[in-house]
Amino acid sequence: MRIKEHPILDFDRKEEITFTYNGKEIKAYEGETIAAALYAAGIRVLKTSSKYERPRGLFCAIGNCSSCHMVVNGTPNVKTCITKVEEGMVVEQEVGKGDVSD
């Protein structure tokens, strides 16, 4: 959910864009990271763990912890917490270690 009113901050949201998550269309604002846009849409599971495939979501949000790795436009292991979302981007949940065979 996005904050509409805040006592200190103004959120100057830019152009609305659309990307897909597991084939589903999601609206976001330009300048947001992929993970932020997904959380705003209520999506918390971004990947599964490499061994037991347990659900994983955002943890550090500053590109340190690898808990937000997703497949973006076919590339696995993209740190979605520091990668900006773009119009038409194809984002998919990552399973396990991410397939890098191509």
Which chain residues interact with another protein by CB under 8 A?
Answer: 1-3, 6-9, 11, 13, 32-33, 36, 39-40, 44-46, 49, 54-65, 67, 81-82, 84
Q: How far is CA 20 from CA 49, 90, 99, 102, in A?
A: 22, 5, 19, 22
Choose between 40 and 98: whose C-beta lies nearer to another protein: 40
Q: For another protein, which is the closer residue by CB, 61 or 95?
A: 61
In the bound complex, what is the minimum distance in angstroms from residue 88's beta carbon to another protein?
Answer: 19
In the complex, minimum distance from the CB of residue 2 to another protein, in angstroms, rounded to a whole number: 6
- Reading the block at residue 94, the tokens are 């990552």
Q: 3-state SS of 50-88?
A: CCCCCEECCCCCCCCCCCCEEEECCEEEEECCCCECCCC
Least Å distance between CB 61 and another protein?
4
